Chains A and B, each alone.
Chain A
Amino acid sequence: MNEPDYRLMRRVALGEEDAVVELYSRYSSLVFKLSLQFLSNNAEAEDAVQEIFVRLWKTADRFDPRKAKLVTWVMLITRRHLIDRIRRKSVRPKQQELLDQHKESATDAQPSANMFKHERNALLWQALQELPELQRTVIERAYFQGFTLREVSRQIDAPLGTVKSALSRGLLRLRERTKRDSSPLNF
């Protein structure tokens, strides 16, 4: 039987190596795959995974099992770290490029970030294309290009509330789509 999550994280907070090993064995696959989706190559993803587990160690005492499952907490820290990392890289598209891209996307659905060019992200790319334009744009910019919601709001000249709603709806639709695709009725 697995050690309870809160006890494991308590031991991770204390820096016990076997607890870190257990945490890694449970979640390294998910963390690595998400890192690979965000970053351009395996080497970067591997660096990110190391940093993420250090961050998990540093924040372990903040895990509250009444508010979230441990895997939710781990993936939240992972996503925050990856978004921070993209922001630090400062290779985000300039405003004019984004405006051009925004115009193009209405007629010519081209991938807007390097990540979508990788074959391994083909499914994600395909799923995004099925979203309404606004939802696709805000997901690409806020989630995969690391812009803050306020920045996205300014870029597309839309109220912050609209950006939040579009982002939330888009992410829910992506989730619904994957549920639909994995349904046993969908053969």
Chain B
Amino acid sequence: MTDSIKNYSQLIELAVLDAHGLLESIESDLFNQSFHDAPASVQDEIIRMQYEFATDESLLPTDMPPTELRQKVIDAVAEAADKEAQRLAPLALIGARASAALGQYGSSSSVTFWRTAAIILFGISVLFGYLTVDANKKTSRITEIALSNDANDTLKDLAGAEFKNFINNPFCRITRLEREHGDPSGYIRVALHERTGEGFVIGIDLAKGEEIIITGTTTDGEVIELAKITADGPVAGRKFHIDPSLVIGLTITAINSKTNNRWI
């Protein structure tokens, strides 16, 4: 048996287990990587096979869900969304209080800023999903960032209606990067428009002076530099642009330019 056939067999084996939710998270990551590296014909075969597994009802019970379950599900999702919003609500309150308390920022533009900051951070939190682990600690850290005057100019530069429209676009793909090893603090999120190649990277709570290079590996294995950010404050970020033809299949990672520590 050749290596390619062996690899193909293993990939199909993993695909079957993946479709049934039986892979551990690390195995699931390995499968995803192998899937990504597989020829398009094999990818299509896996997609089709997993679809057949998903839709095969022949061995399932024939019972149908009761009609009242629909409303229960809607309520359950709404309740979960409310809880998430409540957890983030202090941001909005702090924003309003801060603008009222800080006389020098008592103008309407200051109120707008804090409200905008709260909305932006809320948006980043929800859309980038970086509050999923250790939420309380991270929420308080974000609160600190929202109160920081240093964040003011950065946020003005980074955000605004353009940013909101950008991340709300259905073609915008978000990549979450975490430090590969060591200190779990700090977040990097990369938003990339699949059609236009426009991108946006934001780093929050990075170490002072930390310089991060965002890279993309194309399906051909070529590594390209997408952007570089330096943490001069609690929020750092910039826009970038790449050839749209490179976006599909692009694997995004980052590296600290001084320590070579990776973000994956």
Instruction: Say if the beta carbon of A113 comes within 8 Å of chain B.
Output: no
* B129–A171 CB distance below 8 A: no
Q: Which of B24, B54, B56, B132 has the most CB of A within 10 A?
A: B54
**In the bound complex, do residue B61 and residue A37 qualify as a contact, i.e. CB atoms below 8 Å apart?**
yes
Which listed residue (A14, A68, A123, A171) contacts B16, Cβ 8 A? Answer: A171
B78 & A17 in contact (Cβ 8 Å cutoff): yes
Give per-residue flags for B31-61: 1 if the beta carbon is below 8 A from chain A beta carbons, else 0. Answer: 0100100000000000100111111111111
- The distance in angstroms between the C-alpha atoms of A7 and B20, with both chains bound, is 25
Q: Which residues of A contact B57 (CB under 8 A)?
A: 30, 33
The size bracket of the interface on A is: 35 or more
Q: Which residues between 124 and 169 of chain A lie within 8 Å of chain B, taking CB atoms?
A: 124, 127, 142-143, 148-149, 164-165, 167-168
CB distance from B247 to the nearest CB of A (A): 11
Query: Are B51 and A124 closer than 8 Å at their CB atoms?
Result: no
Query: Given that A20-B73, A46-B69, A67-B35 are contacting pairs, would A175 and B52 also be in contact in the complex, using a CB cutoff of 8 Å?
Result: yes
Contact assessment for A72 and B170 in the assembled complex, using a CB-CB cutoff below 8 Å: no
Name the residue on A nearest B82 (C-beta): A15
A168 B13 Cβ-Cβ under 8 A: yes
Give the number of chain B interface residues (Cβ < 8 Å): 49
**SS of A interface (majority):** helix
Contacts A15-B77, A46-B69, A168-B16 given; indicate if A71 touches B55 (C-beta within 8 A): yes
> B20 — which chain A residues lie within 8 A by C-beta?
79, 143, 171
A102 close to B (CB within 8 Å) = no
- CB of A98 within 8 Å of the partner chain: no
Q: How many Å from the CB of B101 to the closest CB on chain A?
A: 31
- Chain A residues closer than 8 Å to B231, beta-carbon distance: none
CB-contact partner of A46 in B24, B72, B129, under 8 A: B72
Question: B56 to A50, Cβ gap below 8 A?
Answer: no
Contact present for A164 and B17 (CB under 8 Å) = yes
Contacts A33-B63, A171-B20, A178-B58 aside, 12 further interface pairs with beta carbons under 8 A come to: A15-B77, A17-B74, A36-B60, A37-B60, A50-B69, A53-B76, A61-B127, A72-B19, A76-B21, A79-B22, A121-B61, A124-B59
A-contacting residues of B (Cβ < 8 Å)?
12-14, 16-22, 24, 32, 35, 47, 50-66, 69-70, 72-74, 76-78, 80-81, 126-127, 129, 132, 168, 170, 174, 248
